[in-house]
Amino acid sequence: MTRTKIQIDFSEVERLSGIGLSNKEVANALGIAEATLYRRKQDNESFESALKKGRAKAAADIANAVYENAMKGNITAQIWYEKTRRGLSDKVQIDGDVEIKLNYEWKPKEQRPEAGDQRTLDERNP
């Protein structure tokens, strides 16, 4: 005996994915198993298209909101925009050899500070 195929409203799929829900959350909201969602994506181009269209709309809305905030002088939005949209980064890349010197002094356990102790070494060991 074959099961009746659940009817899914593609506009609802688009709306749900458009508010940022994951595939699992979309499936839950539709009352279907996540496996059913993936099967429908494979079997039905309109279903997958609705998911993609909703996600694209959400991405555009967020990008526009960030842009608007950046243009209003929000420095955090400006930095985020520069890093994500223009590919800028604050990572430092070092080419070649680098020498790092560490100064470490071993101390017996009883002379080591307790976790959270904010006193200086001179204050701890007069």
Taking only the tens place, the pLDDT of each residue in 103-121 is 778 778 777 777 666 677 6
Q: Which two three-digit tokens encode residue 74?
A: 């929000």
93 assigned to some structural domain: no
For residue 94, what pLDDT band results from cuts at 50, 70 and 90?
A: confident
- Give a yes or no: residue 25 inside a domain: yes
41 part of a folded domain: yes
99 within some domain: no
Given a cut of 90, whether residue 28 has pLDDT beyond it is: yes
- The answer to whether residue 1 scores a pLDDT higher than 70 is no
Quick one: pLDDT at residue 124?
65
CA–CA separation, 55 vs 91, rounded Å? 29
User: Is the per-residue pLDDT at 125 higher than 70?
Assistant: no
**27 or 123: which carries more pLDDT confidence?**
27
Asked if residue 112 is part of any domain, the answer here is: no
- Residue 35 has what pLDDT? 94
Residue numbers of the domain that contains 58: 10-85
Total number of domains in the chain:
1
Other beta carbons within 10 Å of 16 = 22
Q: Is residue 26 part of a domain?
A: yes
Question: How many Cα atoms are found within 13 Å in the side-chain-facing hemisphere of 28?
Answer: 5
This prediction has a pTM of 0.60
In a domain, 96, yes or no: no
Amino acid found at 107: K
> Which of 16-20, 27-31, 120-124 shows the lowest per-residue confidence on average (mean pLDDT)?
120-124
Q: Assess whether pLDDT exceeds 90 at residue 86.
A: no
